[in-house]
Amino acid sequence: MVFKKKCLISLILVISQIFFYFPTIGQAESADPIYQTLLSGKRILKERNFIEEEKATVYLTFDDGPSELTPKVLDILKKEGIKATFFVVGKAAEQNKKIIKRIVEEGHSIGNHSYTHQYKNLYSSFSDFWQEIQKTEKVIYDITGIRTSLVRTPGGTYKNWDSFYFYFMDQADYLVYDWNVDSGDSKRIGVPAKEIIATVKQSKVTKKLIVLMHDSKSHVNTVGALPSIIKYYKEKGYQFKALSEQVEPIIQPETATRWKRNNEFEIRDTFVREVEKKKIAEVEQKEEQKDKLVDVWMVEPYYEKIGEVIYSYQDEMWWLPLKQAPILLDTRVMVDERTKIIRLYKENTSLMIRGQELKRIGQEWYIPLIPAIQVFQKNIHWNEEMTYLILEQDDQGSFVTKEESIWSKIISSWETGFQTIVTRLSRIYFTFPSLFLYTYRN
């Protein structure tokens, strides 16, 4: 990973601080060097660390959703095995909570695209813009638990924002992304898929691409064009990624805004994210979630802890320490040091695990748990909190899912119970026939 320092504090600011900055009580903002710099149209952004892409990377982005088309986009992304970013409109998010959840569950990024998408409201005053960003942030947070800092402003920053908008948003630690490839799917209503594909193919192919597309309900042709766009970038050798706070934004060059609005520099202290502290705490907590050690318990013939496995939050997989494979899976293990292939085998069944499928933590080798479970036909289930796993021996020799396993358990316990009752009743009947006769006579 290469860290790149980005310093955007302008020389003018430094000079003005040295020569003209004489703080006085009740100083008017007109004498404030930051104000003066912003007024001149220069941007002032904090110094931040970003991770530079090692490979050619394309970030597909979808604006204006979610809508009834979004699940179709998600289906395509899932089929292609790639991740993207959805800049959602707060109002639409409120009406499509399930889709918002699905976006996050399937590993895509979610960003803020204002609440109403009404340019006039958003660009006539920063206060109104700010309110919409806050409102949408809360909508997304309430649905997903994610406090997103990724923002794309409706229509892009070009000619809509000025350096004050950049400054206020940057001070609140939002990251604002424009694009460097416009698919042209919003040029007019009903741009044909062919034209969208052609526009993308004619666009530049630099190492890092942020592609603008739309998934509101009128963009059915974008959905039609998407598979060809993905194919095109795959053939060019690009990797597909979702935006994150580690990705340096692409923003349009400085330009004058076409909107007239009042100066709000004086009330800049009010543009503070309410939950800023909470967000930092959440991020810190997430970073601590590396691997979770989980006990494995045998169910029959008696409860006993027989080993440990690891759940990795990073790759979202269960891992089994190799040395525990003989106990937990009842298999033999053969390690070929030369070819770095591990073979688990039991009677006529075997599983080959190649070096790259293994994980090494400290001195221990780990194998992926789920494939091994499936091959060696063990039942496995875990409690809701995932604090322990349960392995079951399966006498039928077939892999049974959790639900089936519970049902068969219920049925078998019911059968056993029924047999016990019958046996006991008949025993009573045969042992004490006189008792029954006696009762009957009376």
Smallest gap, in angstroms, from Cβ of residue 154 to Zn ion? 4
Using a 10 angstrom Cβ sphere, with 0-12 exposed, 13-18 middle and 19 or more buried, the burial of residue 113 is: buried
**In 3-state terms, what secondary structure has residue 379?**
strand
Which window, 58-66, 98-106, 221-229, 433-441, contacts Zn ion (CB under 5 A)? 58-66
Site size toward Zn ion (CB under 5 A) is 3
Task: Verify binding: residue 63, Zn ion, rule CB under 5 A.
Answer: yes
State which residue, 117 or 273, has the beta carbon closest to Zn ion.
117
State which residue, 63 or 185, has the beta carbon closest to Zn ion.
63
Smallest gap, in angstroms, from Cβ of residue 165 to Zn ion? 16
State which residue, 64 or 178, has the beta carbon closest to Zn ion.
64
The three-point CA angle 403-409-410 to 5° equals 95
Q: Is 113 a catalytic residue?
A: no
What are the structure tokens assigned to 161, written together?
């924002």
Which window, 153-161, 228-236, 264-272, 307-315, contacts Zn ion (CB under 5 A)? 153-161
Using a 10 angstrom Cβ sphere, with 0-12 exposed, 13-18 middle and 19 or more buried, the burial of residue 8 is: middle
Answer for which of 32, 33, 44, 64 binds Zn ion (CB under 5 A) is: 64
The residue sitting closest to Zn ion, measured at its beta carbon, is: 63
Task: Verify binding: residue 154, Zn ion, rule CB under 5 A.
Answer: yes
Note the helical H segments in 96-125: 97-105, 119-124
Smallest gap, in angstroms, from Cβ of residue 62 to Zn ion? 10
Question: Would you mind telling me the total number of residues written for the chain in this entry?
Answer: 442
Site string for Zn ion, 213-252 (x = CB under 5 A): ----------------------------------------
Using a 10 angstrom Cβ sphere, with 0-12 exposed, 13-18 middle and 19 or more buried, the burial of residue 239 is: middle
Strands 304-312 and 150-151 turn out to be: unpaired
> Pick the catalytic residue: 108, 113, 117, 214?
214
**Taking the alpha carbons of 348, 353, 358, 362 in that order, is the dihedral positive or negative?**
positive
State which residue, 136 or 379, has the beta carbon closest to Zn ion.
136
- Sequence-separated (6 or more) residues with CB below 8 Å from residue 388: 294, 295, 296, 297, 382
CA atoms of 422 and 418, how far apart (whole Å): 6
Which window, 146-154, 199-207, 260-268, 285-293, contacts Zn ion (CB under 5 A)? 146-154
Q: Is 214 a catalytic residue?
A: yes
CA 278 to chain centre: 19
> Pick the catalytic residue: 63, 162, 178, 215?
63
State which residue, 32 or 63, has the beta carbon closest to Zn ion.
63
In the complex, the residues that contact Zn ion under the rule CB under 5 A are 63-64, 154
Question: What are the catalytic residues?
Answer: 63, 214
